[in-house]
Amino acid sequence: MRNGNVLISGASIAGPALAYWLRRHGFNPTVVEKAPGLRPGGQAIDVRGSALGVAERMGLLADIRRASTAMRGMSFVGDDGEVLYSTTEETLTGGATDSEDVEILRDDLVDILYRATRDDVEYLFDDSITALSQGDDEVRVTFERAAPRTFDLVIGADGLHSNVRALAFGEESRFITHLGTYLSVFTTDNFLDLDRWQVFHRTADKMSGLYSARNNTEARAILGFESPALDYDRRDTTRQKQIIADRFADDGWETPRLLKAMWDAPDFHFDSMSQIRMDSWSNGRVSLIGDAGYCGSPLSGQGTSLALVGAYVLAGELTAAGGDHRTGLARYEEELRRFVELNQDFALRMNEWQRDQSGEMPDIKRLSNAITLKDYPG
């Protein structure tokens, strides 16, 4: 399928990374993104283990390291701000501070990947897929705005609530597992003058936090709480903010100040901690990558690494299959499945550890290197 036309839904991390490798292997990728541009915001994420090798092969590792959050440590505080625990050995978002792994803001990594692909990859912003019709040799795609087109393959890289997955595999409820926690992240001022530092306040079932970003010129706020699955409109940001405001109304520390900042945040994000588990990530000429097919939840600490490694493996196996998409997609699953399962199981262990705080924090180091990168042709 050299020079095959591949449509990728989603312009966050998995989508542009896949577009990069497909283009390098001689395919013609197109990326469609519902947002009018690159989505801003999101929490600090990690590029670990094997994913560092992928970034190095892309020639992007130096750029990623330059954009590192360079966190020095973290503290947990009480209602009045008194320090209860402090360490420079690890952070809640990034793990060990002396690691070779790289913590980077989500939108900084998205920008790096976009700049690496924008010159030779077609991007369709402010549009989305409304229908897929598979034939023996192609997939006919209907868009919300653009005229219908045909592609050799369609890949869903559109996250936890994947539109492609819903169209090709069925409704989300068949595949999603809620882990009992909701998380909100948004940008605000660094009003505590944090110097590459994180501060958190925890109660029995809630946690609020603030960490500096972009050389301390701004900060990212975190507000998370335990809850059974909630019924709300994912498009109604005002309602989501009200859920947060109600849950944290009586909390101490700087939480009232965070809530006030939340209402004006330019990049408010709210979602459940959930996993996507599927028996197969492919259906004919449609396949899934990253959170769309195998979300581990932020509790895994490996979502970004799964996306980068998945993109490398998917493009490489399609290339190695020499045009046989059935073989390429099957080998993609065979190569990646165990790595995905290990990461998803790790997230479940982290979820248990965060709830009872007993014993040492599970170590992610061995896990992040639990796949060996092949050398693919092309």
pLDDT digits 0-9 by tens, 122-179: 999 999 999 999 999 999 999 999 999 999 999 999 999 999 999 999 999 999 999 9
Q: How far is CA 99 from the centre of its chain?
A: 21
Measured between alpha carbons, how far is 200 from 183 in angstroms, rounded to an integer?
14
Is 200 within the bounds of a domain? no
Give 363's pLDDT tier (boundaries 50, 70, 90). Answer: low
Burial class (CB in 10 A: 0-12, 13-18, 19+), 83: exposed
Average the pLDDT over 272-286 and give the result. 97
Q: What is each CA distance from 222 to 207, 308, 359, in whole angstroms?
A: 8, 25, 24
Question: Coil, strand, or helix at residue 113?
Answer: helix
CA pair distance 58, 62, nearest whole angstrom: 10
Question: Quick one: pLDDT at residue 350?
Answer: 78
Q: What is the pLDDT of residue 190?
A: 98
365: confidence class by pLDDT, cuts 50, 70, 90: low
Cα–Cα dist 319/304, whole Å: 23
So what's the pLDDT on residue 320? 96
- At residue 60, the pLDDT reads 98
Which of 354, 46, 3, 360 minimizes the C-alpha distance to 179? 354
Q: Which pLDDT tens digit goes with each residue over 299-341?
A: 888 999 999 999 999 999 999 999 899 999 999 999 999 999 9
Judged against a pLDDT cut of 90, whether residue 360 lies above it is answered with no
Q: 357 pLDDT exceeds 90?
A: no
Counted domains in the chain = 1
Locate 262 and state its tokens: 């939340």
> CA 221 to CA 186: how far, in whole Å?
5
169 in a structural domain: yes
Closest CA to 164 of 254, 41, 293, 341: 293
Report whether pLDDT(279) > 80. Answer: yes
Q: Per-residue pLDDT averaged across 346-372, rounded? A: 73
Confidence of residue 201 (pLDDT cuts 50, 70, 90): very high
Query: Does 44 score more than 90 pLDDT?
Result: yes
Q: What is the pLDDT of residue 85?
A: 96
Q: Is 213 within a domain? A: no
pLDDT at 354: 67
Q: Angle CA(224)–CA(229)–CA(233) in degrees, nearest 5?
A: 90
Q: Which domain holds residue 325?
A: 5-40+108-176+276-368
Residue 52: pLDDT over 60: yes
Q: What is the pLDDT of residue 349?
A: 84
Could you give the CA distance from residue 196 to residue 68 in angstroms, rounded to a whole number?
11
pLDDT of 92 above 70:
yes
Q: How far apart are the first and last CA of the chain?
A: 13
pLDDT on residue 246: 97
pLDDT at position 95 over 90: no
Is residue 2 scored above 80 in pLDDT?
A: no
Report the chain's mean pLDDT, rounded to a whole number. Answer: 94
Any domain includes 271: no
d(CA 54, CA 1): 23
**pLDDT value at position 346?**
86
CA distances (Å), 227 to each of 37, 111, 164, 174, in order?
32, 33, 28, 20
Mean pLDDT of 74-86: 97
Q: Of 282 and 323, which is predicted with more confidence? A: 282
Look up the CATH number of the domain holding residue 11: 3.50.50.60
The set of residues, in sequence order, having a beta carbon less than 8 Å from that of 116 and lying 6+ positions away, is: 16, 20, 58, 59, 60
pLDDT at residue 252, rounded to an integer: 95
Average pLDDT estimate for 184-206: 97
**Structure-block tokens of residue 194:** 């944090």
Report the 3 state secondary structure along 35-83. CCCCCCCCCEEEECCHHHHHHHHCCCHHHHHHCECCCCEEEEECCCCCE
pLDDT of residue 248: 98
What pLDDT, on the 0 to 100 scale, is given for residue 377?
Answer: 86
Residue 337 tokens read as 């499945």
In a domain? residue 60: no
Interval 3-27: pLDDT, tens: 699 999 999 999 999 999 999 999 9
Give the angle 162-167-171 at the CA atoms, nearest 5°.
70
